[in-house]
Amino acid sequence: MNHDTIGIDISKDKLDVHRLLDGRFAQFPNTKPGFKALQKWVGAILPACVVYEPTGAYHGAFEAALADHLPLVKVNPKHARRFAESRGAGAKTDRADARSLAQMGAAHGLAPDTPAAKDRPVLRELQSARTALVKDKVRLRNQLDKQGHALTRKLSSRRLRLVEAQIAELDQAIRAQIETCPVRKRALTLMESIKGIGAVAATTILIELPEIGSLRKKAVAAIAGVAPITRQSGRWRGQAFIQGGRKPLRDALYMPALVAIRFNPDLKAQYDKMKAAGKPPKVAIIAVMRKLLILANTLVREDREWSEIKA
């Protein structure tokens, strides 16, 4: 491996590629033949990192095909744009973006990501289907509350039962897929030992945060977007807030936090203490969400089940 970096701007149809060492630029189709051609272009001597941004549905196949062959680094698009702006980049073209990503990799000394599990696209597809069905379930329940005619209520109830059955079927499929890996199966057991985290929350955390167990406290909270961001300048002190992060992961932590506040003595004590100190309920709930995720990360890292703290 050398100290070169490569930047790739990914769009629906193509990959725009820039090599920092010699300034070479190339373009390949965003297809399997294109991925093979890209590998050949990179050559046997791998760069230090290949930097790209997530682009919704367009980067998944690229990631799955090349994660085991190239030192891929996925960066936050907002961070990439701020880096480009800090260097005075005004142009916003695919070619310019590829060059900026290569420069970002070199400037920050980015380390390659841990390759994602081979079945990650399958899990994401199943999870996406489940999310859509949960929205349908909520819509149908709201619809039932407003319907008065016997026939419309009958049809809505029938659809609701079908949706609920499909959600249950997806839950089984997701869990079965996760448990094909002994490491993930063990992580599920450890997370479900925590009062507040059930089966659905545990599987969602594993899908949305496959890095769990390998992160530091601050990193895991920041990834979920539940880390408080301090605002201060001189004597001025602004109210802290949360920002960014993986919204599906944050959404998956909300209900477990409410359950933990009622049934987990440790987290209930923390919530009550914050409320007694005058913190708004929303702030206290977010703190419990953060504590739950950090706790899950710690248990997976240390390979131990949760136990209640004895006074």
How far apart are alpha carbons 267 and 262 in whole angstroms? 9
How far apart are alpha carbons 7 and 190 in whole angstroms? 38
Q: Which amino acid would we find at residue 5?
A: T
Is 185 a domain residue?
Answer: no
pLDDT tens digit sequence for 20-33: 999 999 999 999 99
Nearest to 80 by CA among 60, 106, 52, 57: 52
Per-residue pLDDT band at 236 (split at 50, 70, 90): very low
Lowest-confidence region among 130-139, 189-198, 226-235: 226-235
The b-or-e profile of 44-54 (16+ CB within 10 A means b, else e) is eebbbbbbbbe
Alpha helices by DSSP H, listed for the chain, are 32-42, 60-66, 77-86, 94-108, 120-146, 150-178, 182-192, 199-208, 217-224, 247-263, 265-276, 281-302
Same domain (yes/no): 297, 226: yes
What per-residue confidence (pLDDT) applies to 220?
A: 85
Nearest to 52 by CA among 110, 10, 103: 10
pTM of the prediction?
0.70
Per-residue pLDDT band at 84 (split at 50, 70, 90): confident
Report the interhelical angle of 150-178 vs 199-208 (nearest 10°).
Answer: 60
> Which of 108, 137, 157 lies at the terminal end of a domain, its last residue?
108
Same domain (yes/no): 132, 104: no
pLDDT at 68 over 90: no
Work out the percent of the chain whose per-residue pLDDT is above 70: 91
Per-residue pLDDT band at 64 (split at 50, 70, 90): confident
Is 191 a domain residue?
Answer: no
Q: CA–CA distance from 213 to each of 68, 98, 187, 303 (Å)?
A: 21, 32, 9, 9
Is 285 a domain residue?
Answer: yes
pLDDT at 301 over 50: yes
- Quick check: helix, strand or coil at residue 276? helix
Q: For residue 170, what are the domain limits?
A: 120-180
Is 245 a domain residue?
Answer: yes
What per-residue confidence (pLDDT) applies to 172?
A: 97
pLDDT tens digit sequence for 87-124: 876 667 889 999 999 999 999 988 888 777 778 888 98
Q: What is the tally of structural domains in the chain?
A: 3
Same domain (yes/no): 75, 134: no
Is 200 a domain residue?
Answer: no
Is 113 a domain residue?
Answer: no
**Of residues 307 and 9, more confidently modeled:** 9
